Copies of this chain bind each other. A is one copy, B any other.
Amino acid sequence: MNLKELSTLLGLSQTTVSRALNGYPEVSEVTRDKVMKAAKQHNYTPNIRARGLATGRNHTVGHVIPLSTEHEVVNPVFTDFIAGASEIYARENYDMMLTIVPDKTEAEAYRKIAAKGSVDGVIVHGPKANDPRIALLREIGMPFVVHGRSGIAEESEYSWVDMNNTRAFERATQFLIDLGHRRIGLLNGLENMDFAIKRREGYRDALISAGLKEHKELCYSSEMTEEYGFSATLEMLALHKPPTAILASSIIVGFGVRRALDTAGLKIGKDVSLIVHDDDLSYLRNGAAEPIYTATRSSVRMAGRICAEILMEQISDPKRPMRHVLLDAELIIGHTTGPAPKS
């Protein structure tokens, strides 16, 4: 069923039917009602490409997910992020176009997406330290929102939604210090990513303001896998002076830490304390009623919702000022932290 058919069926012109459906005031309420009913009855939905062609607006946003070619890993938080964003898209009747792009060919991919003209805006995932994508998108003139940030310099010149990574890891480190820990390991994400850099800063800040030093041999950086958590922990435990507490950049890394401690015959929360960062993923809940892991928690799904909302704004009025949302993580006390063991 298309507009033409529907309108002849109703004995009206396409114009009138189109206007009735799109809420224009030039059509009487009686007519509008009739049209609406008929549309519903015949399951009519405007052809989205035709509408896009006519209006120049697609009602579609793009999500470009970088695929680390080195590690072949897609960031698992993206599932929940998307789930959050699509709540908004569903409400606003937007579609979501997904592109997974090997990180080598990113620039080209963005240009292509822009040239194809099938999306009204994009959400940028996984920003690196000084991510060229941001300059590129600004140059192209495509509305976008970044999930995360990238560097400091031009932060005010684009919209972003980020978690306060620095502060979260500073608080977590502080918490461990308050418990008496002095040697604290950090299992960070890849430190070419902005979020990892910021977390490292928070960690360092807390140590320094407590008069402690950042020990290189306690700082790891890698793709966040269980295996990484496991092997890095074992390595640290084998040190002359092993850490009494560990900070892990994700709950999955935390699983690996748990397994390593288990293997080493150490009791988690007693012999070694552990704090993880918890993205509050739906399929990786940190416990049901009470938290398992002591964690810094910030819902990535919520971030998805906010990003989507801001992008919608930006699309409907590109002249609107840029928006910046900094979400604070909560510190949640679970069963994996305790006072530093006396030695």
Contact = CB atoms under 8 A, between A and B. Distances in A.
Contact of A47 (B116, B224, B226): B116
A13 interface: no
Interface stretch (A71-79, A159-167, A201-209, A237-245): A71-79
A225 interface: yes
Counting every copy of the chain, the complex holds 2
A340 to B, nearest CB: 21
Interface in A212-229: 223-227
A97 interface: yes
A224 B86 contact: no
A112 interface: yes
Interface stretch (A29-37, A178-186, A255-263): A255-263
B67 A83 contact: yes
A19 B231 CA distance: 57
A49 interface: yes
Given A48-B117, A116-B45, A118-B48, A75 B224 contact: no
B285 A47 contact: no
A58 interface: yes
Contact of A115 (B45, B226, B281): B45
A284 interface: yes
A136 interface: no
B227 A288 contact: yes
A264 interface: no
A86 to B, nearest CB: 4
B72 A111 contact: no
B82 A98 contact: yes
A135 interface: no
A156 interface: no
Given A73-B283, A230-B292, 20 more contacts: A43-B111, A49-B50, A53-B53, A60-B97, A72-B282, A74-B82, A74-B282, A75-B283, A76-B281, A82-B100, A86-B98, A86-B100, A95-B99, A225-B284, A225-B285, A226-B292, A227-B292, A231-B288, A252-B283, A258-B258
11 contacts: A1-B115, A47-B116, A72-B282, A73-B283, A75-B283, A76-B281, A78-B79, A227-B288, A227-B292, A231-B288, A255-B255
